[in-house]
Amino acid sequence: MQTVDAMLESHPEQSVHVDREKLAACIRACFECAQACTSCADACLSEEMVAELTRCIRTDLACADICAATGAVLSRSAEGDARILSAVLEACATACGVCAEECERHADMHAHCRICAEVCRRCEQACRDLLDTPS
């Protein structure tokens, strides 16, 4: 059992409104995406053509921050206001989609952008899956 699953299962306030498997998958995806985006931005800064990657770096960093915040919010009790959860999931899915598009522009030239784009797409889908779960 992974840490995210163990923490959700051990929480004394169990949610009846959220699919715990989708929640755990989304939390993991958010934190993985935050790491990948941060690492991609750093790798972009080390490229010779760094000036051409400015937009990618900024998008990576914005996505990393949004994913980290989303993962943190989702790690708290799911019994909070559904409007907040929906808003952060929408924001995260949007940020991941935008970041994936930007990284895909550089994926043929930079492996770190290809990897980041793939991780962003997975996170975007995890957010959408959780949003689409009936409450």
Q: What is the pLDDT of residues 19-58, one digit of tens each?
A: 888 999 999 999 999 999 999 999 999 999 999 999 999 9
For 116, residues 6+ apart whose C-beta sits below 8 A from its C-beta are 36, 37, 39, 40, 60, 99, 100, 103
d(CA 90, CA 39): 23
Residue 2: pLDDT band (50, 70, 90) is confident
- The DSSP output letter for 47 is S
CATH topology of domain 20-131: Substrate Binding Domain Of Dnak; Chain:A; Domain 2 (1.20.1270)
pLDDT at 122 over 70: yes
pLDDT at 134 over 70: no
Q: What is the pLDDT of residues 61-108, one digit of tens each?
A: 999 999 999 999 998 866 667 888 899 999 999 999 999 999 999 999
Predicted TM-score of the model (pTM) = 0.90
The residue extents of the domains of the chain are 20-131
φ/ψ of 84, rounded to 5, equals -70, -45
